[in-house]
Amino acid sequence: MQVILPSEGSELLGTVTGQKRDNNGNPIGQYNKNPILDTQIYKVTFPDRHSAEYSANTIAKCLYSQTDSEGRQYVLLDDIIDWRKRNDAVEDSDILQISHNENIHRRHTTKGWQLCVRWKDGSTSWEHLKDLKESYPIQTAEFAISQGIDQKPAFRWWIPTVLKQRNRVVLAIKTRYTKKTHKYGIKVPRNVEEAYLLDKESNTDYWHKAIQKEMKNNAMAFKFLEEGECVPVGSKWIPFYMIFGAKCDLTRKAKYVAGGHWTHTPTQITYSLVMTHESIRIAFLIAALIELEVLSADIGNAYLQAPARKQVHTTAGSKIWTNTAGKTVIVVRAMCGLKSSRGHGMPN
What are the start-end ranges of the H helices in 129-219? 129-135, 137-147, 153-156, 159-164, 166-172, 192-202, 206-218
pLDDT of residue 331: 41
pLDDT of residue 324: 35
- Domain check: are 113 and 221 in the same one? no
SS3 345: coil
Single out the residue in 66, 98, 117 at which a domain terminates.
66
pLDDT of residue 91: 83
Within-domain flag for 181: no
- Domain check: are 157 and 124 in the same one? yes
Helix (H), strand (E) at residue 65: helix 56-65
Within-domain flag for 180: no
- Domain check: are 191 and 306 in the same one? yes
Contact 224, 329 (CB under 8 A): yes
- Domain check: are 200 and 166 in the same one? no
pLDDT of residue 198: 92
Domain extent for 144: 77-175
pLDDT of residue 337: 28
pLDDT single digits (tens) 239-271? 888 899 988 888 899 988 877 677 665 555 555
Ranges of residues in the chain whose predicted pLDDT is under 70: 97-102, 167-178, 260, 263-274, 300-309, 316-348
Cβ-proximal residues to 177 (8 Å cutoff; 6+ apart), any chain: 74, 75, 76, 77, 127, 131, 132, 135, 136
- Domain check: are 224 and 202 in the same one? yes
| Amino acid in the structure at residue 57 | N
Within-domain flag for 328: yes
Domain count, the chain: 3
Single out the residue in 155, 175, 195 at which a domain terminates.
175
* Distance separating alpha carbons of residues 233 and 214, to the nearest angstrom: 28
* Cα angle: 305, vertex 309, 311; to 5 degrees: 95
- Domain check: are 139 and 250 in the same one? no
- Domain check: are 269 and 339 in the same one? yes
φ and ψ of 265, to 5 deg: -75, 130
Contact 257, 345 (CB under 8 A): yes
Single out the residue in 66, 92, 111 at which a domain terminates.
66
Q: Could you write out the DSSP letters of every residue in 71-130? A: -EEEE-EEEEEEEEE-TTSPPGGGSEEE-TTS-EEE----TTEEEEEEETTS-EEEEEHH
Q: Could you write out the DSSP letters of every residue in 256-321? A: EEE-GGGSPPPS---------HHHHHHHHHHHHHTTPPP-----TTGGGGSPPSEEEEEEE-TTT-
pLDDT of residue 329: 37
pLDDT of residue 340: 29
Which of 336, 325, 330 lies closest to 314, judged by CA?
Answer: 330
Within-domain flag for 162: yes
- Domain check: are 130 and 268 in the same one? no
pLDDT single digits (tens) 76-119? 788 899 999 988 888 877 777 666 666 777 778 888 999 999 88
φ and ψ of 59, to 5 deg: -65, -45
